[in-house]
Amino acid sequence: MRFWLPAGILAAWLVMALAAQFLPLTPNAIELPQILASPSATSWLGHDDLGRQIADRLLIGACTSLLVSVWVVGLSLLVGTLFGTSTAYHGGWWDKLAVQLVDIFLAFPGILLAIALAGLLGPGIDNVVIALTTVGWVGYARLSRAQVLSLKHREHVQAAEALGSSRWCIMRRHLLPLMAAPLIVEATFGVAAVVIAEAGLSFLGLGVQPPQASWGAMIRDGSRYMLVAPHMVLAPGVAIFAVVLSINLLGDRLRDKLDTKMTAKTGTPS
């Protein structure tokens, strides 16, 4: 149950995001008689302050969060891994300069730096991806650098160097496959962080802009009517909570599965 429940929630998130592209939804249709209407048999999640269907906007918000998460985590993983792997393998002054650059980025709180960048670039989903990627690549760079420093002196890497293999070939064939497990786990937790960050930026008005739906923007709109229409906040809030918690639970399980040291210590098969 501990595994299937979060897996089912994430599967529902993916289905919602994909189905939103094909279903005949009307997330921006204003129905004045239904303003702040509570959930009913015809409208399961009720209506917002403009009479729009919260269920339809929740589906579109799922698509927005998934799109931003995939782009940010994918770009951050690519940039950070290439940067950390290449600098750690080459070593020397290049690696020292890279460490200083990473330390500079880590000196700023990530979400505050993302807010500053989003404010400078302006609101919009593209700028949110750029801002979060600028912040997110550092963790992957630091992790990949630490992995390379522990792997580049192993016998199979030294043998490949002695045989005249190029540095790019060694990194691609002998280093990256051994680094895949911790990077996958880091990327899994990164998805949860991006979902929260995108919702936070949209809540502040720096993310997607009206009338486009986002879970964070829905919470912002509903925060003014919490006493008279709490369903406006509960629906997107529960969605964010369920998705982030499920990702973290699956990330913990994946980390235990891929952690060969823990597997060997407990004596259970991988």
Q: Could you tell me the residue ranges of all domains in the chain?
A: 4-39+52-261
Cα–Cα distances in angstroms (integers) from residue 83 to residues 45, 138, 196, 245, in the given order:
45, 9, 26, 30
**DSSP annotation string for 109-142:** -HHHHHHHHHHHH-SSHHHHHHHHHHHHHHHHHH
Q: Find out whether 66 and 17 touch, Cβ atoms under 8 Å.
A: yes
Class of residue 88 by CB neighbours under 10 A (exposed 0-12, middle 13-18, buried 19+): buried
pLDDT tens-digit map of 209-268: 888 899 999 999 999 999 899 999 999 999 999 999 999 999 888 888 777 554 454 444
pLDDT tens-digit map of 43-95: 889 999 999 999 999 999 999 999 999 999 999 999 999 999 888 888 778 88
Q: How confident is the model at residue 103 (pLDDT cuts 50, 70, 90)?
A: confident
d(CA 38, CA 169): 61
pTM: 0.87
- The pair phi, psi for residue 47, each rounded to 5°, is -125, 160
Residue 252: how many CB atoms within 10 A of its CB?
15
Which residues have a Cβ under 8 Å from the Cβ of 50 and sit 6 or more positions away?
30, 35
pLDDT at site 270: 41
pLDDT at site 2: 67
pLDDT at site 261: 52
> In the chain, how long is the greatest CA-to-CA distance?
77
The amino acid that residue 25 corresponds to is: L
pLDDT at site 211: 85
- The pair phi, psi for residue 239, each rounded to 5°, is -60, -45
Superfamily the domain 4-39+52-261 falls into? MetI-like (1.10.3720.10)
pLDDT at site 53: 93
- The pair phi, psi for residue 165, each rounded to 5°, is -65, 145
Q: What is the mean pLDDT of residues 31-43?
A: 89
Whose CA is closest to 190, among 230, 229, 142, 132? 132
pLDDT tens-digit map of 126-150: 999 999 999 999 999 999 988 888 8
Q: Kind and range of the H or E element at 183?
A: helix 176-203
pLDDT tens-digit map of 155-203: 888 887 787 777 778 877 878 888 888 899 999 999 999 999 999 999 9
Q: Tokens 């829905």 appear where? A: 218
Q: What is the token pair recorded at 94?
A: 């290049």
Which one-letter DSSP state was computed for residue 210?
T
The amino acid that residue 29 corresponds to is: A
